Amino acid sequence: MPRFLHTADWQMGRSYSRFDIEDGAALVEARFAGIEKLAELANEHQCDAVLVAGDVFDAQTVSDRTIRRVFNATKGFEGPWVMLPGNHDAALAESVWTRALRLGAVPDNVHLALQPGVVPLEAQGLAVLCAPLTQRHTYGDLTEPFSHYETPDDLLRIGLAHGSVQGLLSDDIDATNPIALDRAEVSRLDYLALGDWHGTKQVNERTWYSGTHEAERFRNNDAGNALIVEITGPGATPSVTQVVTGRYQWHQWRETLAVKSDLEELLDRLEALPDASVVDLRLEGAVTLAGEERLLEALSVAEARFRSIQCDRSKLQLEPTEDDLSELHADGYVGEVIGELRQRQQEQQSEEARDALAILASLLKGRAQEGGQ
């Protein structure tokens, strides 16, 4: 009973310039560790092969070190790997793949599908029909020749492709590298393993996107998985099991704070996240000075606990309550300054006024605490 692991969109060599150096380096390392995880899963589930449906590399210009490390990471699984060029690492006349071959970095058990055709894995009971991208963008369906590929009757016909299933994704996504929605049926495929969509997605009972093995962007698209596919024989319906491979969870929240309970709920949600979280938080609305203090404390704790947290508070207004001002003893001229800053913040959406108000409040609170000692 043939069983294989379907993965795609590793994007090795990807950089994370929006993060600080330490966090960016950790996210890069997680992608290499993710390949090692795939090898472990292939052994654990007694897979016959690992199929990688495109975009192993993020660009043609990745370093030699990255190339070597990618193939080194596959060594935990000694069965066959079939790697397909995608739009980021297309099989050009001179490409990241030709460099890998010149470097002698490609292990004997790794099959590079640089030309359209069939990779026969007879011992594993598989015939892998491959549609590599030989340029970044195409406008014809490269899987169409699958219908004409002849394969032994006793081998499963497994398609391996990288592109956009027509009519499934949004128009801006499926404009290039199209794949027919009924490709598996028309080309008599037992399974069609796809890459390009970075989240796990079922197209039909024989066609799946595995998604990337490690999430790398803020999209709620079920990334960070691989698929274990088991097929009892030619013509049988595949059994597909989704397994988690990703280390980090990415969360992008856009929150409006209006009342005290909004802040309480936000802080509870932050506290409930696992340590291996990457968080992008944007806040708007209004918060009291006391609420601002609680928020800053929670963000400080999160910065030490999470892999990364970035919080944009530029549209979050400070609205001191009477209790806030009473604790600050902000009367006379100081009280007038606070009032002016509040008005400017509200009327002009001034980030400078907000920051000035926060600094002034912090100074006054610090002075009040010193006076109480």
Q: Token pair of 124, please?
A: 């594993």
* C-alpha distances in Å from residue 288, one per residue of 60, 64, 138, 254, 294: 51, 53, 55, 19, 10
Helix axes 351-372, 289-305, angle to 10 degrees: 90
Contact 318, 290 (CB under 8 A): no
Check the CA dihedral 330-335-341-346 and report its sign.
positive
Backbone φ and ψ for 284, nearest 5 degrees, come out as: -145, 175
pTM: 0.87
Burial 100-111, CB ≥16 within 10 A → b, else e: beeeebbeeebb
Check the CA dihedral 213-214-219-222 and report its sign.
positive
| Per-residue pLDDT, 318 | 79
Residue boundaries of the structural domains of the chain: 3-244, 249-372
Q: Cα separation of 120 and 151, whole Å?
A: 8
Q: Which residues pair with 192 in a beta bridge?
A: 159, 207
Choosing among 3.30.420.40, 3.60.21.10, 3.40.50.720, 3.40.50.150, the CATH entry for 3-244 is 3.60.21.10
| Per-residue pLDDT, 19 | 94
Q: Cα separation of 158 and 41, whole Å?
A: 20
Q: Identify which of 336, 316, 315, 314 has the alpha carbon closest to the alpha carbon of residue 325.
A: 336
Q: Token pair of 115, please?
A: 């030309």
Residues 6+ apart with CB under 8 A from 219: 198, 199, 250, 252
Q: Identify which of 29, 73, 28, 78 has the alpha carbon closest to the alpha carbon of residue 49.
A: 78
| Per-residue pLDDT, 232 | 96
Contact 285, 254 (CB under 8 A): no
Neighbours of 235 (CB within 10 A): 10
Q: Which residues pair with 160 in a beta bridge?
A: 130, 193
Residues 6+ apart with CB under 8 A from 77: 38, 39, 40, 42, 43, 47, 50
The continuous run of DSSP H or E covering 343 comes out as helix 332-348
Print pLDDT tens along the chain (373 aa). 899 999 999 999 999 999 999 999 999 999 999 999 999 999 999 999 999 999 999 999 999 999 999 999 999 999 999 999 999 999 999 999 999 999 999 999 999 999 999 999 999 999 999 999 999 889 899 999 999 999 999 999 999 999 999 887 655 555 689 999 999 999 999 999 999 999 999 999 999 999 999 999 888 789 999 999 999 999 999 999 999 999 999 999 999 999 999 999 999 999 999 999 999 999 999 888 889 889 999 999 999 999 999 999 989 987 777 676 666 655 565 566 666 766 776 666 666 776 776 666 666 665 555 554 4
| Per-residue pLDDT, 146 | 98
Burial 41-57, CB ≥16 within 10 A → b, else e: bbeeeebbbbbbbbbbb
- The amino acid occupying position 254 is R
Backbone φ and ψ for 67, nearest 5 degrees, come out as: -60, -50
| Per-residue pLDDT, 373 | 42
Backbone φ and ψ for 286, nearest 5 degrees, come out as: -145, 150
Neighbours of 18 (CB within 10 A): 10
The DSSP symbol for 123 reads G
| Per-residue pLDDT, 198 | 92
Contact 253, 279 (CB under 8 A): yes
